[in-house]
Amino acid sequence: MQNGARPSFYLIVPLFNEASNLERLFGSFADVGNDFSADFDCRFILVDDGSGDGTAELARKLAGGLGVEILAHAVNRGPGRAFATAFEHLAPVLKDEDWVATMEGDNTSRVELLRQMMTRSKEGYDVILASPYMYGGGVTNTQTYRWFMSYVANIFVKEMLGISGIMTMSSFFRLYRGSALLRLQDRYGPGIVERAGFESMVEMLVKMVHLKMAISEVPMVLDTTLRAGKSKMKVMKTVIGYLSLYRLKGRWRVD
């Protein structure tokens, strides 16, 4: 650790028209700060991805004493580009001993699981995923066809990309060692991901597998009633994005 400074805990959240979800989201930030501030300097990095509902303005009002940074895209560019913007922002300051969590901005990520994910990291894992497909996880209060599409797509993507041993592929809710992100940035550039859509999370997982990172999962119950408004994911657009990964996966391979 450099100069005796404490490690940092960064929480990255992409936002697109999430004004109606922000009050509860910032309550979650306060919970994270209470849980982790004894051991880490906590920072919350929000990427407003071209929202038209005043998301960024409301976020600034709600920030209070929390360590919030708001990055902005002038137009909507997709969650992959939002994550890339955040990773690039962290590149000059991120240290091996830091931790970075990513999550959805619609309150469907259960921040209370972060402590369990951090405990799992003590077993030596580089990345911990929150999975609704593990035993003990699940999806509640969602339309059956959307759950079925997600489940089938998850299986198809694993088969198509040759990934085994991982239950969930596309969830935003993840915890990374700083050293793991630095390895990804060293190999794939400061933004790490190049795909703009929801398939960017699968792209990132493919790259982690290529780098032989140790990946684990914890079960999560996904409850969509915690979200105000509809999901921003367009099913067919996302499926097409997944299919594009098959064509691209070879160039991400590490020799």
Give me the pLDDT at residue 134, please. Answer: 85
Query: Binning pLDDT at 50, 70 and 90, where does residue 254 land?
Result: confident
* Residue matched to tokens 């402590």: 115
122 or 243, higher pLDDT: 122
Do 169 and 127 touch, CB atoms closer than 8 A?
no
Q: Which domain holds residue 115?
A: 7-252
Give me the pLDDT at residue 233, please. Answer: 57
Amino acid identity of residue 86, one-letter, is A
Task: Tell me the pTM.
Answer: 0.89
**Assigned domain for 1 exists:** no
Is the model's pLDDT at 229 over the cut of 80?
A: no
**Assigned domain for 46 exists:** yes
Is the model's pLDDT at 243 over the cut of 80?
A: no
pLDDT digits 0-9 by tens, 150-209: 666 677 777 878 888 888 888 899 999 999 999 999 999 999 999 998 889 989 999 999
**Assigned domain for 71 exists:** yes
Do 47 and 86 touch, CB atoms closer than 8 A?
yes
d(CA 219, CA 16): 26
**Assigned domain for 116 exists:** yes
Query: Binning pLDDT at 50, 70 and 90, where does residue 236 land?
Result: low
Residue 17 has what DSSP assignment?
S
Q: Which residues of 26-60 are buried (b: 16+ CB within 10 A; e: fewer)?
A: bebbeebbebbeeebebbbbbbbbbbeeebbebbe
Give me the pLDDT at residue 121, please. Answer: 87
Strands (E), the chain: 8-15, 41-49, 68-73, 99-102, 127-131, 138-140, 174-177, 215-219, 221-223
pLDDT digits 0-9 by tens, 8-24: 999 999 999 999 999 99
**Assigned domain for 197 exists:** yes
Is the model's pLDDT at 235 over the cut of 80?
A: no
**Assigned domain for 63 exists:** yes
**Assigned domain for 202 exists:** yes
How many percent of the chain have pLDDT more than 70? 87
pLDDT digits 0-9 by tens, 124-147: 999 999 988 888 887 776 655 456
Q: Which two tokens stand for residue 89?
A: 């922002």
Q: What CATH number has the domain bearing residue 48?
A: 3.90.550.10
Query: Binning pLDDT at 50, 70 and 90, where does residue 52 land?
Result: very high
Which sign, positive or negative, has the C-alpha torsion 222, 223, 228, 233? positive
Give the chain's domain count.
1
**Assigned domain for 172 exists:** yes
Is the model's pLDDT at 31 over the cut of 60?
A: yes
